[in-house]
Structure 1
Amino acid sequence: MGANSALIFGLIINVAILLVFSRFLMQLAAVNPYNPVVMSTVKATKIVDIFSRIFPTLGKGRVNSAALALVVVLYLIKIFGIMYLSGAMPNSPIHLVILTFVTMVQDLIRFCRYLIFAAILLSWVVMFTQSRSPYIEVIQELAEPLFAPFRRLLPNMGMIDLSPIAAFFTFLIAERIMDQVAIVMLTGL
């Protein structure tokens, strides 16, 4: 087995996690369902529809609990698979669950930070090129709920919007804190 097989397995499962999690976020952020990117993501994640028979949609149709449950299952498979392929089995099932939860939270924070950075860059692209693609629209619509709390807190400065920068640094600090929490939790097990 070894490191190469763990790397390949991790890459494949990360793509699956990204697709299912993107579907969850697109529904949560109420991204236009007729956007070609959203439609292709829904097509690529038909397995979520199978899980939807077991897990209901909550929050007026915005919280897809089936996609969330599938993400948790995929993370459990990822953590266990990578540990198994690299030869480091978890000490106990509790250790596996804690490691999965910590990894999920770290990846969520990291994804939000990347999403904010992409939205900042793409806002400049839109401003200079005066064109919008479906990909740019999806990224901006996904990032908007992350900016909204900061827009309410920060003063209105006209054309200058500091909420993306405040959101980016908030998630950067949260990522550093979560890294320390992960170290403490994993060394205690």
Structure 2
Amino acid sequence: MGSSSTLFFGIIINVAILLVFFRFLMQLAAVNMYNPVVVSTFKATKLVDVFGRILPTLAKGRVNLAAIVLLVVLYLLKIFGLLYLSGGMPNGPIHLIILTFVSMISDLVRFCKYLIFASIIMSWVVMFTQSRGPYVEVIQELAEPILAPFRRLLPNMGMIDLSPILAFMTLYIIEILMSEAAKVLLAGW
């Protein structure tokens, strides 16, 4: 197949994954449900509600198992589809599952890094403009569960917040460990 079909498939599946992932994180972080960004994301991911009739939510409605299952299915489709369109095939179902979970975890770590970076930028925007829009609120509410454990570890330094630096270093270490683990796991195939 052509590279244009691979690119088109990759864009479509990545947008779907991103929307479902945003929905899962918004529910997990208990973001304000009346925020227009949250409302539009929930409307765009009505398919999660279909799975939600079968799979329950846990932790007082914050952990949506339907979104997790849909994410795994979308990642399986992504990995299999990209391999198929590029002319390769997985060596077996175990190989496909390992590729899927490694891809999911590495994308989660990458997304957390982008979210922390966006949170830093948005805090500067809020400080200079003295206004908070719906996107700023969502980004800061999504980043707070990631940064909160690091804020508890560091001493209070007033207006200087070093927790993003510690979070970046931790995520970087996780990323290195994941790439090494993926090399070891996939070396057998």
Which interval holds the TM-score relative to the shorter structure? over 0.9
Q: Give the ranges of 4+ consecutive aligned residues of structure 1 lying more than 6 Å apart after TM superposition.
A: none
Query: What is the match of residue 126 of structure 2?
Result: 126
Query: What is the match of residue 7 of structure 1?
Result: 7
Aligned partners of 2:188, 2:4: CA distance in 1, in Å? Answer: 29
Aligned partners of 1:119, 1:175: CA distance in 2, in Å? Answer: 20
Q: Over aligned residues, Cα RMSD in angstroms? A: 0.9
Aligned partners of 1:124, 1:169: CA distance in 2, in Å? Answer: 21
Q: What secondary structure, in the 3-state scheme, does the structure 1 residue paired with 2:26 have? A: helix
Is residue 73 of structure 2 the alignment partner of residue 78 of structure 1? no
Give the superposition deviation at 1:162: 0.8
Give the superposition deviation at 1:17: 0.2
Query: What is the match of residue 94 of structure 1?
Result: 94
Structure 2, gaps ≥5 residues long: none
Instruction: Give 2:136's aligned amino acid.
Output: I
Give the superposition deviation at 1:184: 2.1
Give the superposition deviation at 1:182: 1.6
C-alpha distance after superposition, 1:161-187 (max 9, x if no partner): 111121122112211221222222222
Instruction: Give 1:163's aligned amino acid.
Output: S
Q: What secondary structure, in the 3-state scheme, does the structure 2 residue paired with 1:30 have? A: coil
Structure 1, gaps ≥5 residues long: none
Q: Aligned residues, how many?
A: 189
Give the superposition deviation at 1:104: 0.4
Query: What is the match of residue 136 of structure 1?
Result: 136
Aligned partners of 1:87, 1:181: CA distance in 2, in Å? Answer: 25
Aligned partners of 1:3, 1:174: CA distance in 2, in Å? Answer: 32
Query: What is the match of residue 41 of structure 1?
Result: 41
Aligned partners of 1:97, 1:20: CA distance in 2, in Å? Answer: 19
Instruction: Give 1:155's aligned amino acid.
Output: P
- 1:2 and 1:87 in contact (8 A); partners too: no
Aligned partners of 2:182, 2:7: CA distance in 1, in Å? Answer: 21
Percent identity, aligned pairs only, is 74
Give the superposition deviation at 1:4: 2.3
Aligned partners of 1:34, 1:66: CA distance in 2, in Å? Answer: 21
- 1:32 and 1:38 in contact (8 A); partners too: yes
Instruction: Give 1:135's aligned amino acid.
Output: Y
Give the superposition deviation at 1:34: 0.2
Instruction: Give 1:21's aligned amino acid.
Output: F
Q: What secondary structure, in the 3-state scheme, does the structure 1 residue paired with 2:155 have? A: coil
Give the superposition deviation at 1:188: 2.2
Aligned partners of 1:151, 1:165: CA distance in 2, in Å? Answer: 11
Q: What secondary structure, in the 3-state scheme, does the structure 1 residue paired with 2:148 have? A: helix
Query: What is the match of residue 67 of structure 1?
Result: 67
Aligned partners of 1:187, 1:73: CA distance in 2, in Å? Answer: 24
Query: What is the match of residue 50 of structure 1?
Result: 50
Q: What secondary structure, in the 3-state scheme, does the structure 1 residue paired with 2:187 have? A: helix
Aligned partners of 1:172, 1:5: CA distance in 2, in Å? Answer: 33
Query: What is the match of residue 188 of structure 2?
Result: 188
